[in-house]
Amino acid sequence: MTVRNRGALAAMAAGAAALTVAGVVACGSRPAEDVGADEAAALASTTPAPTPTTTASGDPSVPVNAGTLPAAGATVPPVRLRIPPIGVAATVNPVGINQRTDEFEVPPSVDQVGWYRYGPGLEAGTGSVVIAGHVDSADQGKGAFFRLRELDRGDTLTVTGSDGRERPYRVVAREEYAKTGIPLDRYFARDGSPRLTLITCGGPFDAKTRHYRDNIVVTAVPA
């Protein structure tokens, strides 16, 4: 065997090693598969039958309401979220929209999470109660939802309302979407089956813009 040949073989070995390492890294960092996507979609399209309204006589299908000025509804905001499988115990703040960006106003403190106060509260018989939290931040480190993507179907969590009542939920889906393609209308819907939607960031991180490419969305139903 010539020296030249030996050098070539060494190059091949180094090449194979490089490919293997890169491959292992690629596989290792691939996000977990989505689970329960169909079930999450079905929850959005089913609406519990409304209780029929009746009038004294005339056409019973025509509801009649006193045209009083609308008063504030009796919402039950979530105040505390516990997700034992991933060690989450976080305060929930009512949040709205960032005026400048038109985006969800996720609480700046990464150990707290935010409930979308314009959507349904825990009292609602329909729609999606949305709670979003940071996966991490550049200056505060890991956030409350750092391990959200580890949740799996069947995991349980508990949301406590402002009324002090604890409400158990069971995870039915975990999905990852590019932020440019996430069907937000479905997750911020006020109709469909009652459900809890937890949202954070995930996927590849762009160090230049300091943004994640994707959103991780976990859907849970009352247990």
Partner 1 sequence: MQFAMFRRVAAIGAVSALTFAGVGAATMSPAYAASSKVSVVHGIPDTPVDVYVNGKKTLDNFKPGDVAGPLTLPEGKYDIALTKPGEAVDKAILKVDDAAVPGGANISLAAHLSADGKPQITPFANDVSKVDAGKARLIVRHTAAAPAVDVRAGGKPAFEGLTNPKEAKADVAAGTVKADVVLAGTDTVAIGPADLNLKEGTATIVYAIGSADAKNLDLVAQTISGLHSAPGGVPSGTGGQAGTGVDTWWYVLAGAGVLLLVGGGARVATARAGRR
Would you give the binding string for partner 1 spanning residues 132-171, x where CB under 8 A is met? xxxxxxx-xxxx-xx--x----------------------
Least Å distance, CB 142 to partner 1, is: 6
Least Å distance, CB 61 to partner 1, is: 8
Could you tell me how far CA 206 lies from the centroid of its own chain?
A: 20
Stretch that binds partner 1, among 3-11, 33-41, 79-87, 161-169 (CB under 8 A): 3-11
Least Å distance, CB 31 to partner 1, is: 5
Quick one: which of 82, 153, 170, 179 contacts partner 1 (CB under 8 A)?
Answer: 179
Phi, psi of 164 (to 5 degrees): 85, -10
Quick one: which of 82, 94, 205, 221 contacts partner 1 (CB under 8 A)?
Answer: 205
Stretch that binds partner 1, among 38-46, 79-87, 158-166, 186-194 (CB under 8 A): 186-194
Are the C-beta atoms of residues 219 and 40 closer than 8 Å to each other? yes
According to the binding rule CB under 8 A, does residue 195 interact with partner 1?
no
Kindly state the greatest CA–CA separation across the chain: 104
Count the residues in the chain: 223
Amino acid type, 53: T
Tokens, residue 37 = 């996507």
Are the C-beta atoms of residues 92 and 114 closer than 8 Å to each other? yes
According to the binding rule CB under 8 A, does residue 126 interact with partner 1?
no
According to the binding rule CB under 8 A, does residue 115 interact with partner 1?
no
Q: Which of 133, 125, 112, 114 is nearest to 75 (CA)?
A: 125
Beta-ladder partners of 197: 130, 219
Question: Rule CB under 8 A: which of 48-107 touch partner 1?
Answer: 55-59, 61-73, 96-97, 99, 101-104, 106
Quick one: which of 35, 40, 90, 187 contacts partner 1 (CB under 8 A)?
Answer: 187
SS3 state at 72 = coil
Least Å distance, CB 216 to partner 1, is: 9
Angular region, 210: left φ>0, alpha ψ -120 to 50, beta rest? left
